[in-house]
Chains A and B, each alone.
Chain A
Amino acid sequence: MYSFEPTEEQKIIISAARKLALKEFRDRMRDADETGRHHPSWVEAGWELGLLPASIPERYGGFGDHSAMTWVLAAEELAWGDMTAALVLTAPNLVALPILYCGTEEQKTEFLPVYCTDRYAHGSAALMEPHFGFNPYELKTTAHRNNGSYVLTGLKCNVPFAAESEWLLVYASLDGQSQAFLVSKDSPGLSIGEREPNMGINALPLYSVELKECSIPATQRLGGDAGCDFALLHNSSRVALSALAVGVARAAYEYALEYAKQRKAFGEAIAQRQSIAFTLAEMAIEIDAARMLVWEAAWRLDQGRDATKEAQYAMNFTGDMALMVADRAVQILGGYGYVRDHPVELWLRNARGCGVLEGIAIV
């Protein structure tokens, strides 16, 4: 039977995430965007939510079971506060969740407890590559087996916390298949480049990364010799980005709606004109529609069913939707939408990232 009712536990998480988003993210996002530095409270207060430890079973140090659905519910709220803050807070997922999904028993035992302490531990993943035609299923970064090791070579971009994280999960093509490798920060051949300059999500430290004949023990291939189900990780990553998109859009929509009720023109609130009111109605419809797709894709992940189509639907739809909603929010604020005193221009910049930045988040 269909149901659109989150569990009691999920409702508690939603409301806690919303509180955090409002209290810690909203007021600080502008500053963070201007300076390119995320606020320490984002990870300190954010970690207290215990989202990641609650996704990891007790035998690895956590206290719960993973649910993509719970993650998307939380992610929407976090991104409603600030998408960058949400990405910062959930970056540890980038290592922890692929290991949880696909890791060997040894990998789980070694890595997961790191993410179950009461302190935020950095995580990082390198999927994107800086060339036209980037395709996660046809990576230019390659991995070769060489006796007891894998040798990785290639160029990566937009790698979150590459400089801060002890371990990077690097995606590379092994015999034509995308696979993931746990690369420690000090591996010879790995070099972390400059901070990436982007249009938005400025406070998330993203780096370029180069791998030159970077050799790692074969045991550090995600999933060991059996490897990992890359499509599963890719789908889960798309669902994560989609959930963030819904959050950003909702923030922009709510702001524009309140503004439109306050702002007067020609003797009445601009919201009293259909052109504005209908625009808001359409924004509301698209946000709800997008959320349904995200939920369905997350639900399929939790059911262990293939979610390739659903994740693609969610990704395409939410990417367009978030951009459309944020763009209209700017339009509704007119000139005020274009200046950095109001947050809508920031949401427009961040929203454009949603359909583009494959692999910077995962649920």
Chain B
Amino acid sequence: MISFENSRAIRQRQDYAETIARERIRPQARYYDEYDHEHELPWDFVNFMWQVARKDLESLHPGKSFPDEPFMLLIHVNEMIAWGDIGFYMCLPWPALGGSAIKATGTEEQKEHLKEKFQADSPTWTSMALTESHCGSDSSAIRTTAVRDGDSWVLNGEKLFVTTAKTSMLDSDGLMVVWATTDPSKRASAIKPFLVDAKNPGVKITKLEKKLGLRASDTAVVILEDCRIPLKNILGGMESTGFKGAMATFDAARPSVAAAGLGVARATLDLLKEHLDLNGIRIRYGVPRNLLTSIERDIIDMEAQLRAAWLLVVRAAWLIDRHRPNTIESSMCKVKAGEVVTKITQKGVELMGPLGYSRRLLFEKWMRDGKIIDVFEGTGQINRLVIARRILGYSSRELK
């Protein structure tokens, strides 16, 4: 039976996450965004999340109290943390994208390895290095190589824009999933993911990007120089599904970042409405649209867009929790969320005028932060491509 009632257990954790967002995140959001503090890690928050909140939220411990809906819980927590601040969300010491890859395609031993890392006393991160300077969307064109040498793989190449590269490799005893080709003449079929543990001397972080937003999160250039790892560190074992596995990873990651993006959109809308309220501006519902004031129209349309986008995320999560095919639905919610957060946050600045543009409030920050949702985890175009190929029944050769 169709139902739009969220489970009580998730609502409770959502409330808990809201308290964290209100008390521990939002008041610090501005500080970590200023140029002077870029790349500082909010350690208080990180430690708190690691030591206290993680257990309470149980978001990434399937098999505990959420046998049925771990992903549904995750999107609700992500949305709420990002409502606090999406930069903080990006710093969460959770398995994240790299972790999803391991969970989606790893061998039992590798999954166990991941689990151990996340039982450590101090915060741990995983990262995922796919993008290179000459290719982002066209990830099958990567040039980083993996060459077998006796009992090891030796990785060489340069990776770009790696989220939490520094925190996973230098600030913690974490993991990096590195995508490399075992045969540059073969493209997609030869591309495999490899697990690189922290403190491997072959990994160098050479640059932390200065960004439009998400400034609390490190996005780094990673150089792999004769980076030697054990043979068994090929993710998924020698039978690794490789590139296909990457795509499966994205299926689950897309709703997850879409949810975070919509947290930013909601933050904007909530604050906007607070300001309208303070100024005695009431929004009338039920009235035909052609009779509404411009601001009423804007607000109601934004609310409708946000709700529609959110429900697409919820639907994707629902499918993921039931292990049903969700590629198209995940891409749909990602496209929609990218578009909605971009529009709402840009509109927020417009409606607030000089206050919107000012760095004293957060509207301008949310606009800068929100834009990322349409860029990473597959740009808006790439996700449209994924959807278009599916609905048309086209291969990547038929629809480029």
Contact = CB atoms under 8 A, between A and B. Distances in A.
A135 B311 contact: no
A309 B287 CA distance: 10
Contact of B286 (A137, A261, A278, A355): A137
A282 B300 CA distance: 21
Interface stretch (B4-12, B86-94, B224-232): B4-12
A3 B318 contact: yes
Given A289-B336, A293-B307, A355 B289 contact: yes
Interface string A311-326: 1111011010000000
Interface stretch (A187-195, A217-225, A294-302): A294-302
Contact of A312 (B6, B285, B308, B392): B285
Interface in B303-323: 303-305, 307-309, 311-312, 314-315, 318
A235 B287 CA distance: 11
A271 B289 contact: no
A135 B291 contact: yes
B291 A312 contact: no
Nearest to A238: B286
Contact of A2 (B3, B307, B312, B329): B3
B183 to A, nearest CB: 30
A278 B331 CA distance: 13
Given A274-B399, A309-B285, A288 B312 contact: yes
Contacts of A261: 392
A135 B287 contact: yes
Nearest to B301: A316
A6 B300 CA distance: 28
Given A278-B381, A284-B391, A308 B286 contact: yes
A358 B288 contact: yes
B388 A2 contact: no
B391 A280 contact: yes
Given A257-B392, A292-B312, A299-B3, A317 B304 contact: yes
A316 B305 CA distance: 10
B4 A300 contact: yes
B3 A290 contact: no
B2 A3 contact: yes
B392 to A, nearest CB: 5
A295 B2 contact: yes
A293 B306 CA distance: 10
Nearest to A234: B286
A272 interface: yes
B52 interface: no
Contacts of B384: 274, 277-278, 281-282
Interface in B105-149: none
Given A274-B399, A285-B335, A317-B308, A5 B1 contact: yes
Which size class do A's interface residues fall under? 35 or more
B216 to A, nearest CB: 31
A345 B221 CA distance: 53
A84 B398 CA distance: 38
Interface in B1-41: 1-7
B388 A281 contact: yes
Interface string A260-290: 1100000000011010011011101100111
B104 interface: no
Interface in A225-281: 231, 234-235, 257, 260-261, 271-272, 274, 277-278, 280-281
Contacts of B318: 2-4
B323 to A, nearest CB: 14
Interface in A1-60: 1-7, 10
- SS of A interface (majority): helix
B304 A293 contact: yes
A355 B301 CA distance: 13
A136 interface: yes
A95 interface: no
Given A1-B6, A284-B391, A316-B301, A296 B311 contact: yes
A329 B332 CA distance: 19
Contacts of A299: 2-4
Contacts of A338: none
Given A2-B6, A277-B399, A312 B286 contact: yes
A362 to B, nearest CB: 15
B385 interface: yes
Contacts of B399: 271-272, 274, 277
A4 B318 CA distance: 8
A316 B300 contact: yes
Contact of A289 (B7, B308, B387): B308
Given A69-B2, A136-B288, A292-B315, A313 B385 contact: no
A134 interface: yes
A281 B335 CA distance: 10
A133 interface: yes
A212 to B, nearest CB: 26
Given A278-B388, A313-B308, A133 B291 contact: yes
A285 B3 CA distance: 21
Contacts of A274: 381, 384-385, 388, 399-400
Nearest to A283: B391
Of B285, B312, B384, B388, most buried by chain A (CB within 10 Å of CB) is B388
A274 B336 CA distance: 18
Interface in B265-290: 285-289
B119 to A, nearest CB: 29
Given A296-B311, A319-B289, 6 more contacts: A2-B4, A261-B392, A277-B394, A284-B387, A284-B391, A295-B2
| 4 nearest CB pairs, A to B | A292-B311, A313-B304, A277-B388, A289-B308
Interface of B: 1-7, 68-69, 72, 285-289, 291, 300-301, 303-305, 307-309, 311-312, 314-315, 318, 329, 332, 335-336, 381, 384-385, 387-389, 391-392, 394, 398-400
7 contacts: A3-B3, A5-B2, A281-B388, A281-B391, A285-B387, A292-B308, A317-B308
